[in-house]
Structure 1
Amino acid sequence: MDEVKGGRPTRPYRSRIREENARRTRQAVVAAATDLFVTRGYTATSLADVAVAAGVARPTVFAAFGSKAALLRQVLDEALAGDDEPVPVAQRPWYRPVWEAATGRAVLDAYAGVCTLIGGRTARVFETVRRAADGSPEVAEVWQTLLRNRRLGATMVVERLCSLGGPLRQGSDVEAAIDEVWFYNDPAHYGALVLERGWTEETFRHWLARSLRHALLSDPD
C-alpha cells in the first residue's frame, strides 16, 4: 500500500538505475554461465566459478537465480529466444514468417529458417544438457522439458500445415507428421552438420527445408 506523506500518497521508491544494473548483472551471469557450461560442462561448473567469470559475488548469483539448475534454465531460455525478454518463441518477429506463409512449402521453408537460427544459438547448450542429464535428476528434468517443448513446436507447425488444407504425406496420421517435425527440429542436426562438418548455415537451411518438405508434403516440389 502506498504511504501517505504530507497529505499526499507516495509510491514505493524504485530506481531505474538500480533495475538496469540488476539486469546487466543477470546478463553477465547468464553469459558467463553459458560459456562455462559449454566449455567445462554443467557438472564441472559451480556457481562460484560463474560468479568469478561474471565478476560478481557468489551470493549475488544465488540471489538472482536460486540454484545452478535454475541458472541453466535461464541460459536455455535466453539461447532459444535470443534475449531476456519474456516473449514466447512463437510470438517473436523472426517466427512470424511461419504464421504468414500461405502454402505448406512456404511454411516449412520459413520453419527451416527458424530452426537454423535457433540451432546456431542452442546446439552447444542442448548438447551440454543432454550429457549432464544422465548424472543429475534436475538436469534430466530440464532435458525432458526441452523434448516436450520441441514437440509442442512441431505440433504448431503441423497444425499450421493442416490449416492451409494441403494433404500431408502421412495422410490423416497427424501424430506421425508431428514426430517427423520433432525429429528434424533437433538442434543436434545443426551441431553435426554446421559445427562438426563445416556446412554453411545457408546450406543447412536448404537441406532442412528440403527434408521437411519431402517428409511431410504429398507434393514437396
Structure 2
Amino acid sequence: MDELLIPVFVLASIIVPLLALALILYAVPVRVTFRLVFRDGHQEPALAVSWSVFGIRTSHAEGMTVTDVLVANHAVFSRTGSMQTRGTRHIPDQPAGLAGTPDAGEIVHIMQGIMELAGSFGPVFWRECRFEEARGRVTLGLGDPVLTGECCGMYWASRFILEASRIYLELEPVFDREILELDITAKMKVRRPLRILIAGVQLARHPAIQEAMRVMKRQSRRVPVL
C-alpha cells in the first residue's frame, strides 16, 4: 500500500501546484500602465506590468533604459542599460536567386497563415483586455493665437465624448509661442491572462509562425553586423 502512495504523492505534488497556478492566472488580472512624457523635444516612455503584488517596470530617459522588478510596488531589483546600438547592420548586395532568400510565393504563403491566425488570436486578446482610463495634461501652443484658440475650442467642444470613453485630458493653451508638452498615463487590465497565455502558446506553435521564424533566422544569418 505504501509503495502505491509514494507515486501518487509525487504526482499530486506536481499537479496540485500547477492547478493552483492555473487558477491564479485565470482569476487574478494583469494590469498594464503606459506613461508618455514629451517635453523639450524629448520623449520619456514608461511601461509597467503588474500581476497581484508582483510587477515589472521599464522606462527610457536620456538615452538610458531602467528596468525595475517590483514586489508590493517596491523595487527589489533594478538594472540600467544604454539605448545606443552596438553596431550598424549592413545588408550587402545579393545576386538574384541566392539560396536562402524567400521568393514571393513563400512570402505570400506565410502571410496568409499569419492573417488567419490574427483572426483567431485577436478576438481572444480584445475580449480579455479592458481599457480602464487615460489621464494627462497637454500644453499646446501653435505660435498663432487664432489657430491655438480654434484647436482648443474644438477640443473643449468634444471633451464630453472623450470623457465618456474614460479619457481625461487637461489642455493648457499657450498663445505667445509654439510649444507641445505631454504627460499622459493610460491603464489597461487583462481580466483572464491564462486565456491569452494559452492562445499565445497555440499561436507560437502554429506552422505558419514557425515557418516565419525559420525564414527570419535564415535571413539574419546572411546579414552581417558591422
Q: Normalization by structure 1: what TM-score?
A: 0.25
Q: Which has the higher helix share?
A: 1
Larger-gyration structure (1/2): 2
Q: Which has the higher strand share?
A: 2
For normalisation by structure 2, the TM-score amounts to: 0.24
